[in-house]
Amino acid sequence: MLKRLTILLGAMVLMCSLTSAQTLRLDTYGVSPRLISFDLVDDFFEYPYNGLTSVGVGTMVYLKVTTTGTFTNPVWTMPVAPSGSNTVLTQTLAEGDNVIYLKFTPDKSGRYVIEFGDQGLTADITFNAAMYLGVNGGSVTCMNCHNNSLYGFIGDKWQQTGHYSDTERGFNGELSSHFRESCLACHSTGYDANPTAVNGGFDDYPFEFPAQLGPGVWDQLVQQYPEAMAMGRIQCESCHGPGGNHYGQTGNNAMVTTLDAENCAWCHDQGTHHNFPAQWDFSVHAKGPNVGYAGGRAGCANCHSGSGFVEWVKGGQQPLTAAPPAIPITCATCHDPHDASNHAQLRLVSATLTNGYEVTLGNEGRLCITCHKARRDGVDYTNNYLRNLSSHFGPHYSAQGDVLTGQNAVTWGYNVPTSPHLQAIENACVGCHMGEGPVDEAGNFELAGGHTFNMRTEDGVANVGVCEPCHGDVGEDFNEKKLYINGIADHDGDGVDEGLQEEVHGLLETLYDLLPNDGAGHVTITDSSVTKVQAQAAWNYLLIEEDRSAGMHNPEFAVELLKLSIGVLKGTISDVAPEDGQIPVEFNLAQNYPNPFNPSTTIKFSIPKASEVSLTIYDALGREVAKLVDEQKAAGTYSVDWNASNNASGIYFYRITTNEHVQVKKMVLVK
């Protein structure tokens, strides 16, 4: 017995040590001008670096190694380097006891392997240092090999982008009055202010910035400074690294492709006028909370992984059979660096919901809707709810596209009205979530809107400014804005006119209490005791809850859908809609049709709320002839037929009685 216990304890210790084993991660560390400006104490980061493993000779490179434990005896080595290289690995910066940065400068063209070790753990990374050639330089050029059908004529497409034309437009006075010599660090290829970086980049050739910008200046500069201007424009090597060691060889990191945001940030993250990456850093897209587990699944990668989305688009939007290595949703996930077919070089500007509804409005916002949708057909899913019982029952999280368009809900045939946000905001999601953010007292833009996609700053301040062009003064917070429908703002029935979001929360709470739930905030559509109507109402509940705007995306749709679902569950609204799909707003008894009639006629009536209903036929002497309805009815419009085959010709009366109304009308039977 003692031996068995000892073995068991030993196994448990081994399992614990395995599950808590220390790990290493070694990566390049891209550095933008903004990050350099923050490095005021250590002055470690000196020059921008795009995070590529294909770099120019003499370019300063930064690495970052992290551990899940604590470093005790870190050692950097370089087991592979070009012959004659004097590169050293001595400049490091520690951040706490589990992060170390290294910077080094490859001084010769060729392959470098950098290895890190600590406590028996090792990690390595391979670099290729080379000379820049230019898009049309070298004996074999980028265009020779890549501008063909195999690569989708990528060179021709590039020539339609701003990367190709903006530098030329800058010199010709068409880009901005602020275009100046300092802009060339990004508006050229291979520019590197590091004195050691003599690698064929723009700054390595004679060039003098013109005193005057205007038409024809670009062509003049090409004639005057042909070597420098051959490296003008933002060319292939700006994003893929220098091609001096490439020439068709793809091994040894001779040329690289990446979707990492760092590759864009070293130009687009100046910290002032160019601040997209700074905004993106604050976004959920950058944080990628679901990349780790969802991004690696083929069925999820097209939206939860930047690389998955790109592969899905390139594959004709067909389901992925395997997931590429998962990364966050970065700049190049949404923007195609090589193709300007769509505005802002967006990869996609169309969207179709899972129920087949094609979104025709919203323009650029349709890119967002491509992923921010339910991913299930609500009607089909709930019609077959017994096959879908699960703790994950309902629409996929973040179903904003469905709510914004007023689609994919279960309406039982009723027409649920929508607010005009989709129609009124030209680019839908983009118009609000990427609108200009608030400004602090010093005049600096705070982190909201833009590529943060957030409607609130880091301090929780609502970016209400994006609402004001249409709605005027909405107060200090979104929740102050009330929704009035027929003059009524109290939609949850608590007797208080509150902001829309509070009213929607109140309706959600009411609906939650009517649904199977666990008492902890989750509806439970998990077993066959659930009815179809409950499953349908639960879908609607989750659709609005997972929209996560508390009604702001489509106020009237959210309110009316929740009220409809509550009414159906309470039995005050029929789960079979009237012919016109409308819930009546007032009582009405229509004239029978046809009239006169022989021998049948139809009587229609509408009741705005649930009631006991009696519909009775009387002859001219006041005698009861027939009782057509005598039961509780939900709000709705109803049709009842009366066949008078056994009755004599003459005048008849039909009388309807509800809890609040009594009305009589006359009809004539002619045989």
Predicted confidence at residue 141, as pLDDT, reads 86
Averaged confidence pLDDT in the chain: 92
Q: How confident is the model at residue 217 (pLDDT cuts 50, 70, 90)?
A: very high
* Torsion sign (Cα): 190, 195, 200, 204: positive
CA atoms of 448 and 462, how far apart (whole Å) = 8
Looking at the chain, the number of H-run helices and the number of E-run strands are 24, 15
Predicted confidence at residue 380, as pLDDT, reads 97
Predicted confidence at residue 38, as pLDDT, reads 83
For residue 270, pLDDT beyond 90? no
492: which 2 tokens?
A: 């949850």
Q: How is the chain split into domains, by residue range? A: 2-30+52-130, 349-570, 588-669
439 secondary structure, DSSP code: B
Q: How confident is the model at residue 395 (pLDDT cuts 50, 70, 90)?
A: very high
Mean pLDDT, residues 21-39 taken together: 91
For residue 214, pLDDT beyond 80? yes
Cβ 568 vs Cβ 537: under 8 Å? yes
Which of these, 331, 338, 52, lies nearest to 190 by C-alpha position?
Answer: 52
CA atoms of 353 and 360, how far apart (whole Å) = 11
For residue 248, pLDDT beyond 80? no
Q: How confident is the model at residue 579 (pLDDT cuts 50, 70, 90)?
A: low
Mean pLDDT, residues 272-298 taken together: 88
Give the largest CA-CA distance in the chain: 120
**What is the CATH T-level fold of the domain 588-669, as seen in this structure?**
Immunoglobulin-like (2.60.40)
Cβ 504 vs Cβ 558: under 8 Å? yes
Single pTM value for the model:
0.84
Which of these, 222, 186, 182, lies nearest to 205 by C-alpha position?
Answer: 222
Cβ 654 vs Cβ 667: under 8 Å? yes
pLDDT digits (tens, 9 = 90+) for 354-380: 999 999 999 999 999 999 999 999 999
For residue 250, pLDDT beyond 90? no
Higher pLDDT pick, 571 / 330: 330
pLDDT digits (tens, 9 = 90+) for 485-535: 989 999 999 999 999 999 999 999 999 999 999 999 999 999 999 999 999
Predicted confidence at residue 287, as pLDDT, reads 86
Predicted confidence at residue 345, as pLDDT, reads 97
DSSP 486-527: TTB---SSSS----HHHHHHHHHHHHHHHS-B-SSS-B---S
Domain 2-30+52-130 and domain 588-669, same fold? Reply is yes
Q: 2-30+52-130 maps to which CATH number? A: 2.60.40.10
Cβ 496 vs Cβ 490: under 8 Å? yes
For residue 636, pLDDT beyond 90? no
